[in-house]
Amino acid sequence: MVVLFALFALFGPAAHAQEKLGVFDGHQDIGTGVKPGAATYLPATQQYVISGAGYNIWLDHDEFHFAYKKMKGDFILYARAEFVGLNGVDPHRKVGWMVRKTLDGNSPHVNAVEHGDGLTSLQFRKTAGAPTEEIRSKITHANIIQLERTGKVYTMRVAEFGQPFVTASVADVDLGDDVYVGLFVGSHNADVTETGVFRDVRISVPAHDGLVQYKEYLGSHLELLEATTGRREIIYSSPKSLQAPNWRRDGQRLVYNSEGLMYNFDLATRQPTPLPTGDVKNNNNDHVLSFDGKQLGLSSGVEKLGGSIAYTVASTGGTPRQITPRGPSYLHGWSPDGKFLLLTGQRNDEFDIYRVPAGGGKEVRLTTAKGLDDGSEYTPDGQFIYFNSNRTGTMQIWRMKADGSAQEAVTTGAYQDWFPHVSPDGKWVAFISFLKDEVPATDHPFYKHVYLRVMPVGGGEPKVIAYVYGGQGTMNTPSWSPDSKKIAFISNSADAGQ
């Protein structure tokens, strides 16, 4: 926190409404005669440091400091928020997200807020000068704050990092289509300035009603995530659909697919370049690098052969070799010794996991349970295979021995869990979790609220390490860095890369 204060002092306070601040159009004090606040954006860490004073955000008017941008339509606001200093002057100092109709002190608004004493609530004023109302969250001390607008419905989702969201909402709040959206800090004391730090700030524009999956796509953010701390960094944004980043063994590049093609992404220059795959140009997000990094497995749609077909190609690119004679065949895993591939194949109206020689040959069926089995991946020692299955009615993460025996569930079915990825050090399993009230056990669609979760490879309670708007393409493939410290993934927004 000392570094933050040093940078804050270097840039100095500013309360200019038209001063660009990261993703925000400006920042200023709200209210009359408010002690000046300040705001700074730190590009190196993608953090916002905001200081504000003011009597409160309550009753019929508000006083605080606000970093904002103008927006229309629906949106999802997300941040990880912390106060500077364990104990402020007043226990009801405030940090959070706010949506306001105007910048007037008595404006109608909705905010999702954490108080200094841990109280977490959804506050709103429906008309100018009206009393502020409140819905208190069932949890306290939330540091993950999300506020979503869908028409006239505002939904607050809050959590203490590592835990799932707790949700509250208010309907029939009409702030108009064109609103001010942003981060705020208030001290609850007109003579005192308090400071908040916001990181992992995301403003997402969700999919419109009626979006047709696999025909319409949102833009993408390519992100890196620290697995232990949950710190996120956007390293590239595109208006196109980027999907399923793999981390190359040198730790310096990623591989992902977009619009049927494969791309290398250089982490130093932060630029993509096409990876040649000959005439195989309908590649989907089921691709995987061999453990030695020399080969790349592809899944590419070939309609005349029944759908997705598995191929292998040199990881530097070239002419792919066809592995499976028919589809659908979705490639997911490579054995550590390079001898076998794992794929999900639809055979006789059932989706099961098959092992096939890396050079092509006879398929060996490893799962036979009724239902969808998918996302198979070897542990680095080659002893086990992790996969996801909905054989119990809920999609869960399962584990079996490499020969297909001793199949057992390792998650409980609280969510729809997909695509387990074992860390290179063999200690952790990361996977993506869809909400059961949004997604059935048979599907893993684009553009939903999802968690990235991690659990010890030997079992235990999963921990949320990222709260994401994404889904299909977010983390379909092995995404760990070679040192097992970071995960690459995709989040989505309609305005990404614009």
User: Mind listing the pLDDT tens digit for each residue in 353-385?
Assistant: 999 999 999 999 999 999 999 999 999 999 999
Structure tokens at 283: 């590649």
pLDDT of residue 18: 65
Are 122 and 114 contacting, i.e. CB atoms less than 8 angstroms apart?
no
User: Mind listing the pLDDT tens digit for each residue in 289-319?
Assistant: 999 999 999 999 999 999 999 999 999 999 9
pLDDT of residue 15: 42
Query: Helices H, strands E: what count in the chain?
Result: 1, 39
In CATH, 2-204 is 2.60.120.200: yes
pTM: 0.95
pLDDT of residue 88: 85
pLDDT of residue 182: 98
Are 167 and 156 contacting, i.e. CB atoms less than 8 angstroms apart?
yes
For residues 325 and 85, which has the higher predicted lDDT (pLDDT)? Answer: 325
Residue 35 is given by DSSP the state P
User: Mind listing the pLDDT tens digit for each residue in 242-255?
Assistant: 999 999 999 999 99
Structure tokens at 479: 């995404």
Q: Which of 367, 453, 355, 375 is nearest to 411 (CA)?
A: 453
Are 419 and 287 contacting, i.e. CB atoms less than 8 angstroms apart?
no
User: Mind listing the pLDDT tens digit for each residue in 177-234?
Assistant: 999 999 999 999 999 999 999 999 999 999 999 999 999 999 999 999 999 999 999 9
User: Mind listing the pLDDT tens digit for each residue in 344-354?
Assistant: 999 989 999 99
Q: Judge whether residue 85 has pLDDT over 90.
A: no
Of the pLDDT bands very low, low, confident and very high (cuts 50, 70, 90), residue 17 is: low
Domain with CATH 2.120.10.30 in the chain: 219-493
Cα dihedral sign for 269, 272, 275, 276? negative
d(CA 294, CA 283): 19
Q: Judge whether residue 287 has pLDDT over 80.
A: yes
Domain with CATH 2.60.120.200 in the chain: 2-204
Q: What is the mean pLDDT of the chain?
A: 95
Q: Judge whether residue 497 has pLDDT over 60.
A: yes
Task: Report, in this order, helix, strand and coil percent for the chain, each rounded to 5.
Answer: 5, 50, 45
Of the pLDDT bands very low, low, confident and very high (cuts 50, 70, 90), residue 7 is: very low
Lay out the sheet containing 288-289: strands in order across.
288-289, 295-302, 307-314, 321-322
pLDDT of residue 74: 98
By percentage, how much of the chain surpasses pLDDT 70? 96
DSSP SS3 for 138 = strand
pLDDT of residue 12: 39
CATH of 219-493, one of 3.40.109.10, 3.30.420.10, 3.30.70.580, 2.120.10.30: 2.120.10.30
Residue 283 is given by DSSP the state B
d(CA 56, CA 354): 61
d(CA 289, CA 326): 22
